[in-house]
């Protein structure tokens, strides 16, 4: 794909919660293979924006096209689109009644009708990738936050998504566990996955992002490659934010 | 992460013993062995008339269990539908479920039993026991609906969101992810309702259904041994509910295995 045919195209999106304007005329395109990091103060709408991409939040106006399909069109099957868009949550949201292995195989078996053995073989490959093979039979409550989040990433990958969304994946973690999750994300990025990441990890943004999006009060203030974004931010609002956090 | 387990306390049933309670003297043991002791004492030292009374009751025990199991089955189905209706965004479904629950909870069970029994009698001729089961199930379904609703709402939204994000639709998320987890939260109150229902089946003795109480009344009215008969009936009910509460406690304990570290 090229720039004329982005895998995610968000055009003039508005989102209201009651009278509160969560997203204010937001437009953003993401090309296949691109890594976009979204940052901004809390309440700036960055998580809301991310959640509109797989329609966990509906939008008030505008259009969002994912992999060629308008996700809000009545003719689109949102469940099929969601299967192609993996999502990783701040609070992991592993299925608490299922073992790690069953967390990974549930959707492939039920939705793609994969044979159990095939689903489990693939699940073990993914657990290998996130370094969690030895915990395959464990239940989520037996794992640390960092381990749960690595499993959650593997679970999303088990559906072979074309895009991965990360909603503050390290914000709920103890500091010593952030690295292990970021390592998995960096590996994924190197393999060419299309990623949209909402995070406060500026080191990750610098290292991995193709472009950094800065949001404030529901608007996109600035989009720039990481070097320019961090070293020469164009807007005073961006400068102030970076001064506060760096 | 904090391991939060939400306990719903909707109890008018027998207290379900806590399996972690390892002391020698627990309320359950005192009640259970005390009751068995009294029954044994009566049968050995006051064989006449207590042996005759207890020999008269087994048919009634079978009927009580039949009514209880059939009613709880019906109540679980109605309760699941009512519970899903109460959380549904579909206005019609939601209102229908809420109205059912409001109406049923506002009428005493005994009045409902009479009403459904005679109302059904106007429409179709059904056996007494079937009418009793429909009435009990219909009533307990409403209470069960509230238990299901609370159980489903106790499951974090994140579980549904994670399911949706993988491509499950809402009903698949409910079936594969939310309900299997809600079941653990629901089980203790459902167990309580089950025991409460077993006790309330004594009301069907009024509808010419030969349960434990009705058998006892028949025996008493022939022998005039009212005190002795009702003593034995109370003891038999107590033994049954104590055994059931122990079984439920063990089942609940086993189902919770994945919550333990």
Contacts of B163 in chain A (CB under 8 A): 95
pLDDT tier at B7, thresholds 50, 70, 90: low
Instruction: Say yes or no to pLDDT of B6 above 70.
Output: no
User: Alpha-carbon distance B158 to B206, whole Å?
Assistant: 49
pLDDT value at position A67?
94
Instruction: Say yes or no to pLDDT of B10 above 70.
Output: no
**Residue A142 DSSP code:** G
Strand, coil or helix: A166: strand
Average pLDDT over residues B125-136: 88
Size of interface A-B (CB pairs under 8 A): 80
**Nearest chain A alpha carbon to B183:** A97
Residue in A54, A110, A141 closest to B261 by CB? A141
Contact A97/B156 with Cβ under 8 angstroms? no
Residue A36 backbone zone (phi > 0: left; psi -120 to 50: alpha; other: beta): beta
Contact A7/A67 with Cβ under 8 angstroms? yes
pLDDT value at position A154?
97
Please tell me the CATH code under which domain B22-260 is placed: 1.10.3720.10
Nearest to A193 by CA among A170, A155, A166, A162: A162
Q: What angle do CA A186, A190, A192 make, to 5 degrees?
A: 120
* Residue B203, number of CB atoms within 10 A of its CB: 20
Residue recorded with tokens 């207290």: B15
What is the model's pTM? 0.83
Token pair, residue A38, equals: 């979204």
What H or E segment, with its residue span, contains residue A81? helix A78-83
CB-based contact B167 A155, cutoff 8 Å: no
**Nearest chain B alpha carbon to A104:** B166
pLDDT value at position B1?
43
Q: Does B167 reach chain A within 8 Å, measured CB to CB?
A: yes
**Nearest chain B alpha carbon to A173:** B1
pLDDT value at position B206?
87
pLDDT in tens, A219-232: 999 999 999 999 99
What H or E segment, with its residue span, contains residue A195? strand A194-198
More confident residue, A13 or B115: A13
Nearest to A36 by CA among A159, A214, A177, A176: A214
pLDDT tier at B259, thresholds 50, 70, 90: low
Cis peptide bond upstream of B49, omega within 30: yes
**Residue B17 DSSP code:** P
pLDDT value at position A1?
42
Sheet holding A8-17, edge to edge: A20-30, A8-17, A61-66, A69-70
User: Alpha-carbon distance A233 to B91, whole Å?
Assistant: 50
CB-based contact A139 B258, cutoff 8 Å: yes
Contacts of A82 in chain B (CB under 8 A): 164-167
User: Alpha-carbon distance A86 to B211, whole Å?
Assistant: 57
pLDDT in tens, B220-229: 999 999 999 9
Helix B157-166 and helix A145-157, axial crossing angle in degrees, nearest 10: 30
Contact A85/A54 with Cβ under 8 angstroms? yes
Per-residue pLDDT of chain A (246 residues; tens, 9 = 90+): 444 679 999 999 999 999 999 999 999 999 999 999 999 999 999 999 999 999 999 999 999 999 999 999 999 999 999 999 999 999 999 999 999 999 999 999 999 999 999 999 999 999 999 999 999 999 999 999 999 999 999 999 999 999 999 999 999 999 999 999 999 999 999 999 999 999 999 999 999 999 999 999 999 999 999 999 999 999 999 999 999 887
What is the pairing mode between strands A163-167 and A211-216? unpaired
Residue count (chain B): 261
CB-based contact A95 B168, cutoff 8 Å: no
Q: What angle do CA A170, A171, A176 make, to 5 degrees?
A: 60
Residue A65 φ then ψ, to 5°: -115, 125
Residue in B159, B165, B180 closest to A54 by CB? B165
Contact A37/A210 with Cβ under 8 angstroms? no
pLDDT tier at B261, thresholds 50, 70, 90: very low
Residue in A80, A89, A152 closest to B167 by CB? A80
pLDDT tier at B116, thresholds 50, 70, 90: confident
CB-based contact A89 B161, cutoff 8 Å: yes
Q: What angle do CA B164, B166, B171 make, to 5 degrees?
A: 40
Q: Does B176 reach chain A within 8 Å, measured CB to CB?
A: yes
What is the pairing mode between strands A211-216 and A35-39? parallel
Mind telling me how many Å the CA of B258 is from chain A's nearest CA? 6
Nearest to B231 by CA among B52, B34, B68, B53: B53
pLDDT tier at B255, thresholds 50, 70, 90: confident
Instruction: Say yes or no to pLDDT of B130 above 70.
Output: yes
More confident residue, A1 or B248: B248
């Amino acid at each position: 794909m090229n720039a004329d045919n982005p895998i995610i195209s968000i055009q003039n999106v508005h989102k209201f919660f009651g009278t509160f304007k969560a997203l204010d005329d937001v437009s953003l395109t993401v090309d296949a293979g691109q890594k976009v990091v979204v940052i901004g103060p809390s309440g700036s709408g960055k998580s809301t924006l991310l959640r509109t991409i797989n329609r966990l939040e509906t939008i008030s106006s505008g259009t969002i096209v994912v992999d060629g399909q308008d996700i809000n069109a009545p003719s689109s099957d949102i469940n099929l689109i969601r299967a192609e868009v993996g999502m990783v949550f701040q609070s992991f949201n592993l299925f608490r009644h299922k073992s790690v292995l069953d967390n990974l195989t549930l959707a492939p078996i039920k939705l793609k009708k994969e044979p159990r053995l095939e689903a489990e073989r693939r699940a073990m490959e993914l657990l290998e990738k996130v370094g969690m093979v030895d915990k395959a039979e464990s239940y989520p409550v037996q794992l640390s936050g960092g381990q749960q989040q690595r499993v959650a990433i593997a679970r999303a990958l088990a559906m072979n998504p074309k895009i991965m969304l990360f909603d503050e994946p390290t914000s709920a973690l103890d500091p010593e566990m952030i690295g292990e999750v970021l390592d998995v994300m960096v590996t994924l990025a190197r393999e060419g996955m299309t990623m949209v990441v909402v995070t406060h990890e500026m080191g990750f943004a610098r290292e991995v992002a193709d472009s950094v999006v800065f949001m404030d009060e529901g608007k996109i203030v600035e989009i720039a490659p990481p070097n320019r974004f961090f070293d020469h931010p164009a807007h005073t609002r961006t400068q102030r934010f970076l001064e506060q956090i760096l | 992460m904090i391991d939060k387990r939400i306990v719903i306390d909707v109890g008018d049933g027998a207290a379900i013993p806590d399996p972690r309670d390892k002391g020698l003297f627990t309320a359950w043991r005192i009640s259970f062995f005390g009751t068995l002791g009294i029954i044994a004492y009566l049968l050995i030292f006051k064989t006449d008339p207590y042996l005759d009374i207890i020999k008269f009751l087994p048919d009634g025990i079978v009927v009580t269990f039949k009514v209880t199991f059939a009613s709880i089955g019906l109540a679980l189905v109605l309760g699941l539908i009512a519970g899903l209706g109460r959380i549904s965004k579909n206005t019609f479904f939601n209102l229908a479920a809420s109205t059912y629950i409001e109406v049923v909870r506002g009428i005493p069970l005994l009045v409902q039993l009479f009403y459904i029994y005679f109302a059904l009698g106007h429409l179709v001729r059904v056996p007494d026991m079937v009418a009793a089961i429909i009435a009990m199930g219909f009533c307990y379904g409403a209470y069960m609906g509230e238990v299901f609703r609370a159980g489903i709402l106790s499951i974090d939204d994140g579980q549904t969101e994670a399911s949706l994000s993988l491509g499950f639709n809402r009903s698949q998320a409910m079936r594969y992810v939310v309900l299997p987890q809600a079941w653990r939260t629901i089980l203790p109150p459902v167990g309580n309702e089950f025991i409460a229902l077993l006790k309330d089946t004594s009301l069907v003795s009024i509808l010419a259904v030969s349960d434990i109480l009705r058998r006892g009344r028949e025996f008493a009215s022939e022998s005039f041994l009212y005190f002795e008969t009702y003593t034995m009936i109370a003891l038999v009910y107590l033994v049954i509910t104590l055994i059931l509460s122990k079984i439920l406690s063990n089942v609940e304990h086993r189902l919770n295995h994945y919550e333990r570290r």
